[in-house]
Structure 1
Amino acid sequence: MNTMDRVSRFLVSAVLVALVIFGPIRGVLGFILIVMSVFFLVASVTGFCLFYKSINADFHNSDEYFK
């Protein structure tokens, strides 16, 4: 994963957690958002994404997003 991907996943994770803690989202949907944010946080910290691995994509040192 490139730096932009890692930062964006970290920001999405922070927003999801903030929605559950400070926002109106509770219950099962809140739990699902917390689980998703944990996956995003782990992927952003480690730089490893299971989805990218499953489709054999490598965006580590490329600008594939902008092509």
Structure 2
Amino acid sequence: MKIPPSEMFLSESDKYSKFDENGLPTHDTEGKELSKGQAKKLKKLFDTQEKLHKEYLQMVQNGSLQ
């Protein structure tokens, strides 16, 4: 929850070589563009993390996180 979605994949440089402006991977380590299926799966993970991160920020803002 703590990791911003824009930073979620950046640490996976062993799998991805290029990222878009949002931090979503666009190319694999060989420099090949990811397939539409792969990109869709990663976008789904990104969206889920975005939702979780927003919930986390709300909890921090409301002081309910200890």
TM-score normalised to the size of structure 2?
Answer: 0.46
Q: Which has the higher helix share?
A: 1
Higher strand proportion (structure 1 or 2): 2
- Structure having greater relative contact order (Cα 8 Å, sep ≥ 6): 1
TM-score (norm 1): 0.46
